[in-house]
Structure 1
C-alpha cells in the first residue's frame, strides 16, 4: 500500500473551536502513523505554539510552522531541518515607520526567540508578550533572521492601505498574509514561501509522490496547499474560497472530528 503524507492545518481543522484535540482525533492520527503514513502538522502557528499539540498527538514526524518557513522535528536534531528567513532590516524599517503604516504593534519570531516592539502590551494570544528590555524589537536584540513578522494594524479600515504600502515598499522580498476574522492582523513571510514549501520538502525527504499527499484546511492560507495536494480536503466549516479549491469537503466540522472521520474512511483505518 502506498504511504501517504497527511498535511494537517491546526486551527479550524485538527483542533476544535476551543483549541483542543479530541481523543478520537488523536486515535485516528496515531493509527495513521502506525500504518506507515507521515502525519505532519502544517500550520501558520509559530513553533512555540505547536509543540504541546504535537506532543499531545503523539507525533514523531516533522512539523511545518510559520506557513512553511520552518520545518523541524521537535525536541531533536533533524538533518532535514530547514528555514526560510526574512531580512531583519525589513522588520526594523517597518517598526520605524509604524505611524506612517498605521500599525499598533510589530513583532518578529525565529524558532526559539520572539521580539516585540512594546513592553507589557498583550493584544492577542498569538503575539508574544515582551516583559524585559532584551525582548524588545531592537537591532541589538536580533540574534537570528526572523521566520515571520507579525503586525497589528490600527483597525480593519486602515488594514488594506497598510497592506498596499507594505507591498509597494517590500513586495519583492516578502509576502503579506491577511488573517481571516475580525482581527486586523498581518503576517509577513519570505516571498515565495507557503505551506506548500514545507509539503514539497517532506515529499522529497520521504519519497512521497504528489498524488499521495492528502491535505486538510479551512482558511485562506491553506488554499495553495489544498490546490497542490493530490487530494485537498476542505473542512465543513471552511471558507467558501477553500471549499472552491478543494477536491472534497468533510461532512462534519472541526467540533465533530470532521478531519479524523474523513481520514479514517479515506485510509481505511481501524480505530
Structure 2
C-alpha cells in the first residue's frame, strides 16, 4: 500500500478509558511504522503529558502538542521545530482580572515550563496537586511568552467566559472549551488548530493530502478530520465529529477502535 501519514489524537481516541495505551494499540502502531507508514501524535495535551505515550509507541516522528501550537521531535533537536506563543501581557491581564472571569485556576505552559497561580484541586488531575514555589505564576516568574494558557472556571460558565475572553483578547487568541464534567478553557495563539500542524507535517514528509489518515473524537479534531484525505471519527466521537468524518470506527476507544481500524484498512499482520 502507498505510504500514509497517520495522525492520532490521544484522549478518547488512541488511549482507552483509563487514559492508557492497550498492548494491541502499541503493537498495531509499531506494525504500521514497520510497514513504512508515518505515524504522528496530534494532541491537545502538553508535552509533559504526551512524552511517555510517544515513547511507548517507539515513535521517532514529530509530535504536535497544545493542538498544534508546538511541533517538535522529542529527545532531539529538529530544524523544523516551532512554537506559536501568546504574548505574556495577556496572562498578566488575566491575573489582574481573575475574579471578574471567575477563574479558579490559571496555568501557563510551554514545551518544558509549567506555572500556575496555585496547585490544582484534588478533583482536577490535569495539573499537579503540589507545585514548587518557583512554579507559582506571577508577573515575575513568567519571563517568556507561553505556548498555552489553561483556565479552570466556575461550573457551567465556560461558554460565557470564552465569549468574554474573545471580546477582550480575540485579536490574539483562540479559545477551546473542554468536553467533560469540568469547566475548562484552553487558550492558544490565534489561528492555531491541529489541521495546520498536520499540513505542516505532510509538507515536511512530502505526503499528499489524500494520503493522510487522521483519527479523532472531539471538537478540537474537527478541522483536522475535515482537512485530511481520510478523517476517521471514533465510535464514541461527538455527533459533530461524526458528521465531518469520512468514516467511523466500528469499535470505541475502550475497544481498540484505532488499532482494529488500522489493522483492517492497512492490512497489517496482527
The normalised TM-score by structure 1 is 0.96
CA distance in 2, matches of 1:26, 1:59: 10
The 4+ residue runs of structure 1 with deviation greater than 4 A are 119-123
User: What's the counterpart of residue 33 of structure 2?
Assistant: 33
User: What's the counterpart of residue 15 of structure 1?
Assistant: 15
Q: Comparing 176-185 with 132-141, which one deviates more in the overlay?
A: 132-141
CA distance in 1, matches of 2:171, 2:120: 33
SS state at 1:168 partner: helix
SS state at 1:26 partner: helix
User: What's the counterpart of residue 211 of structure 1?
Assistant: 210
Structure 2, unmatched stretches of 5+, are none
User: What's the counterpart of residue 139 of structure 1?
Assistant: 139
Structure 1 residues 1-271: aligned runs within 5 Å: 1-119=1-119, 121-129=121-129, 131-156=131-156, 158-271=157-270
SS state at 2:188 partner: strand
**1:125 Cα deviation (Å)?**
1.6
Query: Are the equivalent residues in 2 in contact too, given 1:38–1:61 (CA < 8 A)?
Result: yes
The normalised TM-score by structure 2 is 0.96
SS state at 2:140 partner: helix
CA distance in 1, matches of 2:128, 2:113: 10
Query: Are the equivalent residues in 1 in contact too, given 2:213–2:228 (CA < 8 A)?
Result: yes
The CA deviation string for residues 117-158 of structure 1, in whole angstroms up to 9 with x for no partner, is: 1247555221244522211111221243211100011111x2
CA change 1:212–1:90 in 2 (3 A) is same
Tell me the matched-pair count: 270
Structure 1, unmatched stretches of 5+, are none
Query: Are the equivalent residues in 1 in contact too, given 2:14–2:21 (CA < 8 A)?
Result: yes
Please give the root-mean-square deviation of Cα atoms over the aligned residues, in Å: 1.3
CA distance in 1, matches of 2:141, 2:121: 18
